[in-house]
Structure 1
Amino acid sequence: MFRTALRNVHAHKARLLMTVLAVMLGVAFVSGTLVFTNTISDAYQKSSAKGFDQVDVAIQPENPADEGDTVGKEQKLTHSLLDKAVKVPGADTAIGVVRGFTAIADKDGKLVGGGFQSQGGNYWGDKDPRYPLTNGHAPQGTHEVAIDSETAKRAGYKVGDTVRLSVDGPVLTPTITGIFTTDDGNVAAGGSLALFETATAQRLFHSVGTYDEIDVKAAPGTSQTALLGALDAVVPKDVASTTTGQQLADDQAEQISSAMSGMKTGLLVFAGIALFVGTFIIANTFTMLVAQRTKELALLRAVGASRRQVTRSVLIEAFFVGTVAALTGLAAGIGIGAGMRSLMNSLGATVPSGPLVISPGTIATALLVGILITMLAAWLPGRRAAKIPPVAAMSSVHAKATTKSLVVRNTIGALFSAAGIAVVLYATTMDGSDGQAPMGLGAVLLIIGVFVLTPLLSRPLIAAAAPLLRVFGVSGKLARQNSVRNPRRTAATASALMIGLTLITGMTVMAGSLQKSIDKMASSAIKADYVVSMANGYELSPDVEKKLAGVDGVTDTSSLRNAPSRIDQQTEYLTGVNGASIAKLTDLTITDGAFEVGGARVVVDKDTATAHGWKAGSDLQVSYEDGKKGKLTVGGVYEGNEMIHGIILDNATLAPHQSDASDFQVMVKTSSGRSDATKDRLEKALGDNPAIQVQDKKDISDGIAQMFTLMLNMLYGLLAMAVIVAVLGVINTLAMSVFERSQEIGMLRAIGLDRKGIKRMVRLESLVISLFGGVLGIGLGVFFGWAAGELLASKMTTYELVLPWGRMGVFLLLAATVGVLAALWPARRAARLNMLTAIKSE
């Protein structure tokens, strides 16, 4: 039986090639994902570990947890604490660290680095061991700065150049006095780092005379643990905590690994989809191979082979096919991993250098996935073949499914589909995240149910195409009959395409609906002509609003700032605004009271008011972040949304309780409305700052649309693999169908159907099967898109379902294209069959 299995593998090389390709693509994606994420994670971890070479113990400010009526406020580390730290036994040196956001503009005025990766800090003394200078000298005074070598290279800066940068709003133009190298992970990832002298950094980052961290280096012969113990004796527990450099490195490595796990999971999901689709192809292939060898297997049974031996021979075939596919997939995956790293570098996402990491786990996973998937898919056809009585098998090449088996299949499919629809509909009645798990379960059940029911669905849906196929005469009629001749095979082929299009359509419906909802939210909630904010979400200096208020044509401005507070023994964030202008800049629906903000009067969003039992006229006892208490009165309750929500009060009331006031946004209304000239005036008033963005409603919507478009394009690219696997499945099915029907095709040729007619018949058959899968996929995708939208609607009041008819038409066209392309080779092969040889074949 072993030799028989090997002979069959050798005899059907061409037929099994498609199966190998299907499994190989899935395995390549899995192993490529593991190689890529392991390589990047290893490189970042090694790079971050180097960044702690100068840190044996770090002293960090304590952030007290919220207790009672007080709000936790971050402590600051003073210079006197640094002096104490450097004098403890076993300490060699101590460095005071100051950190903050710093945006650097290139010579064209554009932001260097990406958002949160744009960092600033302090250069310690004349020679900072953390940042070796490669050119120039340390920054001194308020008008000097040093920048990292990668930023200098990308932006084309050198020592002596003037650079435009921003810390929290105003543009600064210091001179570059030094260029340094660093192992900072942000810089390694493509960000930027600007260093000022310590006093300047403290002033710029609101830490005058204080530090964000104190890094202590141990004297030779002193361990990190011993130094930690000595520092614990002098560092006040309520002010700061101490951590070893090794622990910091380990924590950062864990954070990197955790961050990479999200990417790894996402990529592996799509690899799983490709493998799942590939499973249908493998099962289809082995079903047809076994069907074609029914007489051979019956003869083996007749001469003494047991059912187990027949099943085992099919599984041995699958094992060899899976092994070849897994090995080639692993090799391709290593190439994919290396290619993805190079692609990231070419796209500007700098990745630390390091070796390609091919772990034993990656190799084992690739082999296990490839072999296991193939053998599982081949098990059912092998078991089915072994159960056919030898006499029945020898008398009929094609053993048809019994009525009982079809009834059982359809019953199971109907139960799964009904259960899936019921669970999905139940999930739509739940709130937000609570409904995600049921929604996922329902989706899986429904997809399985539809897959099981596909043979039943194929007959009426393909029959609906009969009028169109009649146009093509005899070829069209034969194509329709061939499509429904073997419903199970048609179902397995169409299902591969169905799954890919279900996911693509569902995500497209979701993205379009979300975009429309966000457009409605922006237009309905904001009356302001412009919204000004930092490009990376950091906070703005209060000077920004003052500058904007002085611009010609500006009629109203209001900054928005957040501050923590304690109300009813809970932490609530207060949103400070310009009470005199906010009503002119927003358009919020009032459900109770009036929109009055000023003095002690505040307005509260409906959800917060309901949670606390507040209404117009309710008094709130508040404890501000500085520990002082006060009383606020609810003037009105409004309908909140994702853009504006919470407790809104006047900045004049909030500001006295803030030590470092900063805004996250400024709203601006102008007399002339939105125009390019007005926008230019506002940008010029802010010094054409690269870190600050001035956006109107369309800019906000376009920015969100760009994010959705980028995500969709990435997902389309990943799902393209599943579509490629589906194409292979259609080719495989048609090729085997042509082989199986060789005698029939020879007869058709003999009675007058020419080669063009044969080609047309096979192409139309492929087209019908592909469109059948496309219709099912688009239908399911719309249903899942609607259901997921209903889940979002509970949290997003402006949510509105949008059906992208144009894109759905493109997806259907894609399914048709898949059918046409997949039929090229099988149709050509069918047309070239020698009719006499074909008629004599069995």
Structure 2
Amino acid sequence: MQLIALSTLNAYWRRYVAVGLAIMVGAAFLTATLLVQSVSQASFGNSLGENYRGADLVMQIDAEALERTPVSTDGNTALNETSIAFAKGTSLVSVAQPIGTSSAQLHITQPDPASSSGQRTVIDMASVNIAPSNPEFGSMKIIEGKAPQGAAQVAVPESQAARLKLSIGDTLTLDGLSAKVTGIAANSNDPTNSFGVQVWADLSLVKSLQKEDLRFEAIALKLAPGIQPSTAQGNLTSLAQHENLTFVTFKTPEAAVKDSIARFSGGTDVLTPVLLIFAGVALFVMTLVVSNTFAVIVAQRTRELGLLRTLGADRKQVRRMVRLEALALGLIASILGVAAGMAVMFGLVTWAKTLPGAAYTTFAANHQSIWIPVLVGTILTVLAAGSPARRATNVAPLEALRPQDMSTDSHDFAHGSNRGRPSLGLSKGTFAYGLVLFVVGTAALVVFSVFFPNLTIAFLSGIVSLSGVVVLAPVFIPRAVGALGGLTGRKSAPAQLAALNAVRQPRRTSATGTALIIGVALVTMFLTGGTVAKATLDGSVSSQYPVDFSLGTVDPTQTPLTEADAKKLTQIRGIEAAILMQTVGITDGSGNVLAASATDLAKVLNDPATIPPQGSVVVGKELVPGNTLDVLKTDGSSVTVPVVHAGADYLQPMMSTETARALGLTVPMKFTDPTAGDSGTIYARAAQGLDANSINQLRDDISAAVGIPPMYIGGAAMMRASIGGTIDMLLMIVSGLLAVSILIAVIGVSNTLSLSVIERSQENSLLRALGLTTRQLRSMIAREALLVSVTGAVLGVLLGVGYGLAGAQAAMGSFAPLVISLPWLMLGLVLVGAMIAGLLAAVVPIRRAVRLSPVAGMREAVA
């Protein structure tokens, strides 16, 4: 049987190409998923380990031991200069390099021709890293100038120097300490150094910044010549205990990197399990495609298998032969899939290395990413072929040998009729089971998304509901395809034939359609859920943060913002409006009352409910729970103003200048103490549809225009862009991952159609002999593919929209009222893509059908 199985694969290899491709795609996806963990670990190790470059050992505080042991006064719980002195004082260590970061406020004075003084001051927060004293140590690599030495020198990474327009010889100030830029360093690969402005400084400057609280994150140690790290670890630990350095530990750089990775990732690998879910979806669709294809292939070989039975082969031997074919196919295709997955991941890593800030990305493969996909792909292929093998051997040998047209084979497993009545397409018990799954799952999904929002339970309910859809697929998919064929198959003979052919084998139609429905439904679900969640969050952000940009001076020495500053903002591309908010009164504990004209407020406020009505003050409910607010006037008296609570819980009191004047308030308020004067607040509105990069650039432009540090510019724009950008990125990634399952489903459509064309060789040849043209034959096969693909896409979109809305409600229901915003364009693209995929799936079958002459086709069928 082994020989027959292998010879069958060799003789009819074209039949197995498409199913092998589906197995390859599934195995490649699983391989790439498993490689994500090893690549991320290697990449983080390459980046987080920069600080330990050149070290033999790393001296750290044992955080776990410190957490387990009550802190006492007789033990050191931090690394400091005493720790360095200890390490250098031993004969085991030749170099002890401290590693640490200090934060400081950065001031840079730059020329500004637009300013009356001819210059402007840029204020930002800086992370000051300790520069290694030895160039062989650490991650600082000077590419221009020289390394900083002493308390008056610094080095700046290349990207930061370009951003801040710094060059060698320029001066900057860190917490009031002046320092000259002496070097330009290569950009750091450490992801923990990706926030704020990075500066390299000598230990003496860092010590001045930290004053009495000088602490290090770690100390990199270079051992004395001839000292082995394994020996030094034990000896240094003993010496540290003797010196009462209770919580100090000594690790190899590799072990320290592993600890850093665990701290950076929170000690858990969240990405790989999520990716495995998508890989599981792709493998499930692959199993459907493989099972359906093997069912067709085995059905085509019914006479061959019947002949083997008459020659003495029993049912077990025939089943074993089919499983051996599946085993060989699954093994070969899975191995090729592993190779393809590794090639794709290697290409992605190579591409990632070219991106800014990702040069540390490293390709690494582990043995699990090789043998697991091969094993899973092979086992699933054998399991998928098991059911078709059992069904084929249930046919009696004499019946199998009886001449028949396979295209009209009555053994379309589990389909048929019952005394002239169409069957359900599956047993009554299976139908009842699927119906229960769908009804119970859908009911639970509605309950735990609408009435008791709970995303976890709703997700599990959705899985149960979708499982019911899969079980019931043989009931509704053939009927849906038939209905669509009835609507489109009335005008021409090819259309009528396509409508009939699409449902002649209901089981394979349902299996093919199910694979496509699952892929399209999941993609649609995430697109719908993400779009609705994004719209809901946008509405909530606009309510809680009613202005896109809010800025005011934070340094008492700075000049207050003025109307002229607001006009500067309106000159920035991307800013639609900017107004100066003036203080018109003082309240007791809820902040000064700000005001602007009603017309100007309408220009900058995103939430119409926040616009103050005439005669009232708008304020957050958490700040002023009551219905009135006492506002102190310039002369010391107060006026009671009706309160309108805004959607923003902590919105500062705000009214129109028209209301302020009507209440007798001075616009702006005159302060008797000059130091308590109005520092000025500007509200600005950004153009709609800007992405996160554009918003960040706007913030930098605003900072440059008025001299406010970017970190002190608040408002809804950054948050909305950040949330929207994150959701868009996740949707793009998830849609790309789920597109793999759609690709496998399309392969299934093409494969099923190809095998159907092979079955109908005699029939198609007879039709051509009776006058069916080549063009009409192409049209017939293309329409057949379109019927299945469009039906699967439409049903998938409908299911996906329903599941997506339910998921969004479950996730956002307890957070904010759901804002229904369907991605109509993307849904339309999904449907158009399904039509195009159906046409592409028909290309190979059409070529085979039209290249076969009528005479040859009839002769081939008879043979």
TM-score, structure 2 as length reference:
0.73
SS in 1 for 2:154: strand
Q: 2:344 aligns with which of 325, 336, 342?
A: 336
Q: Which position in structure 2 is the counterpart of 1:290?
A: 298
CA distance 1:591–1:378, shift in 2 (3 Å): farther
Retained in 2: the 8 A contact 1:529–1:669? no
Question: Aligned runs of 1:830-841 on 2, under 5 Å?
Answer: 830-840=849-859, 841=861
Q: How many residues align?
A: 733
Retained in 2: the 8 A contact 1:79–1:209? no
Rounded to whole Å, the distance in 1 between the matches of 2:107 and 2:321 is 67
C-alpha deviation, 1:282, in angstroms: 1.0
SS in 2 for 1:465: helix
SS in 1 for 2:590: coil
1:369 aligns with 2:369: no
Q: 1:306 aligns with which of 300, 314, 318?
A: 314
Counterpart residue type for residue 704 of structure 2:
K
1:594 aligns with 2:626: yes
Retained in 2: the 8 A contact 1:190–1:349? no
SS in 2 for 1:506: helix
Rounded to whole Å, the distance in 2 between the matches of 1:260 and 1:672 is 41
Q: 1:579 aligns with which of 557, 567, 590?
A: 590
In structure 2, runs of 5+ residues without a counterpart are 70-75, 112-123, 567-579, 596-609, 611-617, 631-642, 652-678, 688-694
Counterpart residue type for residue 421 of structure 1:
T
C-alpha deviation, 1:683, in angstroms: 1.8
C-alpha deviation, 1:830, in angstroms: 2.1
C-alpha deviation, 1:49, in angstroms: 4.8
Q: Which position in structure 2 is the counterpart of 1:243?
A: 249
Q: 1:456 aligns with which of 475, 478, 483?
A: 475
Question: Aligned runs of 1:613-762 on 2, under 5 Å?
Answer: 669-670=681-682, 682-684=702-704, 687=707, 692=711, 694=713, 697-698=716-717, 700-762=719-781
Q: 1:425 aligns with which of 421, 437, 446?
A: 446
Q: Which position in structure 2 is the counterpart of 1:215?
A: 219
1:200 aligns with 2:205: yes
C-alpha deviation, 1:281, in angstroms: 1.6
Rounded to whole Å, the distance in 1 between the matches of 2:105 and 2:844 is 57
Q: Which position in structure 2 is the counterpart of 1:58?
A: 60
1:26 aligns with 2:26: yes
Counterpart residue type for residue 249 of structure 2:
T
Question: Aligned runs of 1:42-441 on 2, under 5 Å?
Answer: 42-45=42-45, 48-49=48-49, 51-52=51-52, 53=55, 55-59=57-61, 97-100=99-102, 119-123=127-131, 129-130=137-138, 131=140, 136-140=145-149, 144-147=153-156, 151=159, 160=168, 162=170, 175-179=180-184, 185-186=190-191, 193-202=198-207, 209-213=213-217, 215=219, 217=221, 220=224, 223-232=232-241, 234=243, 241-246=247-252, 248-255=256-263, 261-352=269-360, 356-395=363-402, 397=406, 398=409, 399-402=411-414, 405-428=426-449, 435-441=454-460
C-alpha deviation, 1:124, in angstroms: 5.9
Q: Which position in structure 2 is the counterpart of 1:615?
A: none
Rounded to whole Å, the distance in 1 between the matches of 2:316 and 2:498 is 38
Rounded to whole Å, the distance in 2 between the matches of 1:491 and 1:245 is 60
1:781 aligns with 2:828: no
Retained in 1: the 8 A contact 2:326–2:382? yes
Q: Which stretch has the larger CA shift, 676-685 or 515-524?
A: 676-685
Q: Which stretch has the larger CA shift, 7-16 or 125-134?
A: 125-134
Q: What's the CA shift string for 1:699-753, capped at 9, x where partnerless? A: 5433432222222222232233222222211111111111111222122223332
Rounded to whole Å, the distance in 1 between the matches of 2:623 and 2:706 is 38
CA distance 1:791–1:383, shift in 2 (3 Å): same
Retained in 2: the 8 A contact 1:727–1:818? yes
Retained in 1: the 8 A contact 2:548–2:684? no
CA distance 1:81–1:347, shift in 2 (3 Å): closer
Q: Which position in structure 2 is the counterpart of 1:819?
A: 838
Retained in 2: the 8 A contact 1:451–1:491? no
Rounded to whole Å, the distance in 1 between the matches of 2:106 and 2:27 is 43
Rounded to whole Å, the distance in 2 between the matches of 1:672 and 1:42 is 44
C-alpha deviation, 1:208, in angstroms: 5.3
CA RMSD of superposed structures (Å): 4.7
Retained in 2: the 8 A contact 1:5–1:313? yes
Q: What's the CA shift string for 1:210-256, capped at 9, x where partnerless? A: 2244637486457234433443455587xxx4232335344125457
Q: Which position in structure 1 is the counterpart of 2:661?
A: none
Q: What's the CA shift string for 1:555-613, capped at 9, x where partnerless? A: 369xxxxxxxxxxxxxxxxxxx9831489898545699338999xxxxxxxxxxxxxxx
In structure 1, runs of 5+ residues without a counterpart are 68-73, 110-115, 534-541, 558-576, 599-635, 646-666
Rounded to whole Å, the distance in 2 between the matches of 1:726 and 1:8 is 25
Counterpart residue type for residue 593 of structure 1:
P
Counterpart residue type for residue 211 of structure 1:
R
C-alpha deviation, 1:795, in angstroms: 3.2
CA distance 1:219–1:359, shift in 2 (3 Å): closer
Rounded to whole Å, the distance in 2 between the matches of 1:308 and 1:207 is 83
Rounded to whole Å, the distance in 1 between the matches of 2:490 and 2:256 is 73
Retained in 1: the 8 A contact 2:349–2:361? no
Counterpart residue type for residue 339 of structure 2:
A
Retained in 2: the 8 A contact 1:117–1:190? no
CA distance 1:495–1:669, shift in 2 (3 Å): farther
Rounded to whole Å, the distance in 2 between the matches of 1:548 and 1:276 is 65
CA distance 1:425–1:152, shift in 2 (3 Å): closer
Retained in 2: the 8 A contact 1:57–1:217? yes
CA distance 1:142–1:833, shift in 2 (3 Å): same
C-alpha deviation, 1:501, in angstroms: 1.1
TM-score, structure 1 as length reference:
0.75
CA distance 1:504–1:179, shift in 2 (3 Å): same
Rounded to whole Å, the distance in 1 between the matches of 2:431 and 2:137 is 73
Rounded to whole Å, the distance in 1 between the matches of 2:41 and 2:201 is 31
